[in-house]
Structure 1
Amino acid sequence: MFRFAAALVASTLLAGVAHAAPAKAPADTGEAQFRSLYKELVETNTTFSAGDCTLAAQRMADRLKTAGFADSQLTVFTPPGRPKDGGLVAVFPGKDPKAKAILLLAHIDVVEAKREDWERDPFKLVEENGYFYARGASDDKAQASIWTDLFVRFKREGYQPRRTLKVALTCGEEGGGHVNGARWLAENRRDLVDAAFGLNEGAGGALDAPGGKRVVHNIQAGEKSSFSYRLEATNPGGHSSRPVPDNAIYQLAKAVDRIAAYGFPVQMNDTTRAYFTRMAGVVGGERGAAMKAIVANPGDKAADALLSRDANDNAILRTTCVATQIQGGHAQNALPQRATATINCRIFPGETAGQVRDTLVKVVGDAKVSVSTVPLDRVDAKPAPPLTPNVLGPIEKVSQAMWPGVPVVPILQAGGTDAPAFIAVGIPVYGVSGLFYDPDLGRLHGLNERIGVTSLMEGREFSYRLVKMYAEAKD
């Protein structure tokens, strides 16, 4: 009945303007070209085992060249000796040479995907039931496509930004064997990527159910670093028919158990204080009250205990360490001569890998169990970059214009991105995308990775508006 009445009112209003000028057609935002670019990038295999990041970077450079960018504005780079680990830096010159640039960062490598495990070919983009499916459909070729398309769109419009804009598409963020292109750029071509700040993956919006209600829009400011440690117990061994108390597997098991029982102390920074303060009003109830309490007093044990039941809350309250691999013994009828375990730690910004190792040594409390750092291409987590009004303000303004009433909440990333490589050399990097995800986080790194079609198109529009706002902002 309501719909009929509404339709009747609408038809009456339309009748009154029957002779008015026809409505202006919506502007062509280039969605068809964006879809083509996105498809090409997603379907370019960039896994370590069989892919080629340099090819993907060159294809995006070709798109920009066709749009009108000069060769001098496009740099396809390859780290020495790694011809398939390349990336792209594209520069869109600004009108004000004194204004510092803005860096738009995304990685183009993806994690491995086996065809026999997936419902669809992971390297063919499929649109089905409101989703795009493919490896990299979200992580991180959605953002890489949005940044590249943004330059194409600006060029087509004849737009001239006040600030210079830079897009960096890099390889190696997912590990697996690629050279980390972001770190290579930061350490070897700082001049090429220098900027006032950068925008990156690492955060997005949350939906309460598949295709459901928007709950919150996150912005990442800082992240934990990932380091692994090797516990090792050794012993002369012997025949299993003559067991002795001094057993390498037992020693290792006790050490791992002590680590499992240990909780690192709560730490807070500006990002996590803002997160828990804003989320308290979103979640409400006992959990919301605990969030307020932990901000007021990080030593509140009751609030800590309640929040730590949730893996997501616990992950950003403290450094965490967990056993991920274990090996021991050399024969079923022999006392073990060696037993080892890998402990992966996600370290709170400002704490170093060395400090965490020292803590693990104390927790293990056994001189016969050594604790060593597993070599990784990582850097210590740096303090989170400040969320100044100049950074946060435009995000809040665009977000509220597109999704009224959805709160913007800062978040510390418990996982890892390429941001620390740039933060380490003095370029603040923030994660914000305007991409909203189902509770399964788009099945990132898993089977049948996907992203909502509406989410991708809205994220494209969000980035378009946001970058324009930053590009015209005064210092």
Structure 2
Amino acid sequence: MRSTLKAALCAGLALSATLAATPALAADQPLSPDLAAFRDLYRELIETNTTVNNGSCTEAAAKMATRLKAAGLPDSQIVPFSVPEHPKDGGVVAMIPGTSKALKPMLLIAHIDVVEAKREDWTRDPFKLIEEDGYFYGRGTVDDKAQAAIWTDIFVRFASQGYKPKRTIKLALTCGEETSGAFNGAEWLANNRKDLIDAAFALNEGGGGRTNGTPVSKGGKLEVQTLQVGEKAYQDFTLTATNPGGHSSQPVRENAIYELSEALLKIRAFEFPVEFSDTTRAFFTRAGAARGGEVGKAMLAIVANPADGAALAVLRQDKQLNSMLHTSCVATLVNAGHAQNALPQRATANVNCRMFPGRTTEETLATLEKVVDNPALKLVPKVLGKPIAVVPPMDPAIVGPMEQLAAKHYPGVLVLPTMLTGATDAVYLKGIPTYGVPGAWGDPDGNGVHGLNERIEVQSLYRARDYLTDLVKALAG
């Protein structure tokens, strides 16, 4: 799960206090030409299939480049990229030069690939932008074409207005974020064209808001806005048990399926130790104080004493809060046997781990091997050289404007720093502190991200566009 709303949807924060409602625009209010142009850009992105098997990020990136050129951005400031081995996984980088030589650039990044969506499973065509009952429906309406459309639209407007920022602004639309182990545009840029994206900091997906379950346009309340400062690192491990096999009419105790099952049950029972980053410590402290009650008290207690078993027992009941406290590993796929009437010769499982910032693949592997405690089983990482997740600093020069503008655009709404329990392309941006921005809000049910009938509230998208435009201007000088 990787979207503008992820931190809000994953944080699991259900504040007991009712916070101020944010006013919504009238549903029948006609769109200004400026907003209508943004909606059309967003539509074009949604309706360009960018799934890994059937779509083309290269095509989507080319369409966005065409819009940038039409707005007046010269070819010299637009750099399409792709590799021969993955011709459909291309992207585009663009830049608006700043007037200051002292200020290092800022980077706006978003991925334009999406998770697969099958028409027969959806109520509506997933690759048509459909506006219905106050929502936009379609694959990628949240993850991550909302962010990509907003960033591109900001560039289009800045170019057409002749806007001259003090700080150079860079835009990177990339592919491959949704498919671990496949070609990843952000990783390729960082390894091969770091000059194109090098920046003092980057603004990314991962932050966002959450409602109380009722659309804001229908009187619901926006409960929280989150700023993502850090995330876990993603890694899959393949766990394999092998045996000679044989005829099933003469079973023996050595059985690959049983051995694999025993190992997986050990992994299920194991819990990595509690640890904190500056981000999660601030989140649990502020959110715990605001929430109150048993969960709020437990959040404060675990900060004071990470070994507090009673507090941890309470927090384990909330899967999102629990996930923020430590590395997690879980079995997600199994495959075993070769015939119904034969003893299994091989059984494998995929163990998916989300590693706490600073934790490496090697030490996670070592821990899992100790937990399994069976040298006959083989455990190997699927992706070698996976970067370590690094928590960026809570830099007041960056965080301050985010919070101040959130107070302007979302008055009365609590703004919290949070760590994303999922993962984004931030892990590949070597040495570039990367922040998931507040802005768009979602519903507690997750808005169909990675699932069926993905949607975003129309006013959520439009309000986020306004907020993020002001934020980019503030940070660019």
What TM-score, normalized to structure 2?
A: 0.90
Distance 2:179 2:329 in 1: 20
What's 1:136 paired with?
140
Q: Equivalences for 1:53-452 in 2 at 5 Å?
A: 53-175=57-179, 179-211=183-215, 212-375=220-383, 379-422=386-429, 425-452=430-457
Query: Judging changes above 3 Å, is the alpha-carbon distance between structure 1 residues 418 and 379 closer, same or farther for their aligned structure 2 residues?
Result: same
Deviation at 1:334, TM superposition (A): 2.2
Distance 1:55 1:215 in 2: 38
Contact 1:79 1:179 in 2 (8 A): no
Contact 1:79 1:184 in 2 (8 A): no
Query: Judging changes above 3 Å, is the alpha-carbon distance between structure 1 residues 403 and 137 closer, same or farther for their aligned structure 2 residues?
Result: same
Larger Rg: 1
1:260 maps to amino acid: R
What's 1:457 paired with?
462
2:294 maps to amino acid: E
My pick for the range that moved more, 378-387 or 50-59, is 378-387
SS of the counterpart of 1:97?
Answer: coil
Distance 2:113 2:286 in 1: 34
Distance 1:344 1:31 in 2: 41
Structure 1 ranges of 4+ moved more than 4 A: 26-29
What's 1:466 paired with?
471
Distance 1:189 1:405 in 2: 42
Deviation per CA, 1:310-360, whole angstroms, max 9, x where unpaired?
110111100111111122222222222222221111111111111111111
Query: Judging changes above 3 Å, is the alpha-carbon distance between structure 1 residues 288 and 380 closer, same or farther for their aligned structure 2 residues?
Result: same
2:344 maps to amino acid: P
Deviation at 1:176, TM superposition (A): 6.7
Deviation at 1:257, TM superposition (A): 0.9
What's 1:6 paired with?
none
2:236 maps to amino acid: S
Distance 2:377 2:388 in 1: 27
1:144 maps to amino acid: A
Distance 1:266 1:221 in 2: 18
My pick for the range that moved more, 41-50 or 455-464, is 41-50
- Consecutive unaligned residues of structure 1, counting only runs of 5 or more, are 1-25
2:260 maps to amino acid: L
SS of the counterpart of 1:251?
Answer: helix
What's 1:10 paired with?
none
Deviation at 1:246, TM superposition (A): 2.1
Distance 1:393 1:177 in 2: 36
Deviation at 1:178, TM superposition (A): 5.0
2:293 maps to amino acid: G
Contact 2:289 2:300 in 1 (8 A): no
Contact 1:210 1:439 in 2 (8 A): no
Deviation at 1:375, TM superposition (A): 3.1
Deviation per CA, 1:99-147, whole angstroms, max 9, x where unpaired?
1111000011111111111111111101110000111111111111101
The number of equivalent residue pairs is 444
Query: Judging changes above 3 Å, is the alpha-carbon distance between structure 1 residues 176 and 186 closer, same or farther for their aligned structure 2 residues?
Result: closer
Task: For CA contacts below 8 A with separation 6 or more, give which structure has more relative contact order.
Answer: 2
Give the alignment's Cα RMSD to 1 decimal: 1.7
Contact 2:390 2:427 in 1 (8 A): no
Distance 2:84 2:339 in 1: 44
Deviation per CA, 1:384-422, whole angstroms, max 9, x where unpaired?
011111111001000001112211111111111111100
Deviation per CA, 1:165-220, whole angstroms, max 9, x where unpaired?
01100011111775200010111111111110000001210111031211110111
Distance 1:394 1:126 in 2: 34
**1:44 aligned residue (48, 61, 71):** 48
Distance 1:334 1:156 in 2: 69
- Consecutive unaligned residues of structure 2, counting only runs of 5 or more, are 1-29
1:410 maps to amino acid: P
Distance 1:249 1:41 in 2: 45
SS of the counterpart of 1:166?
Answer: strand
Distance 2:50 2:254 in 1: 48
Distance 1:32 1:395 in 2: 26
Deviation at 1:79, TM superposition (A): 2.4
SS of the counterpart of 2:288?
Answer: helix
What TM-score, normalized to structure 1?
A: 0.91
Contact 2:387 2:428 in 1 (8 A): no
Distance 1:154 1:137 in 2: 23
Distance 2:214 2:427 in 1: 31
> Identity of aligned pairs, percent?
55
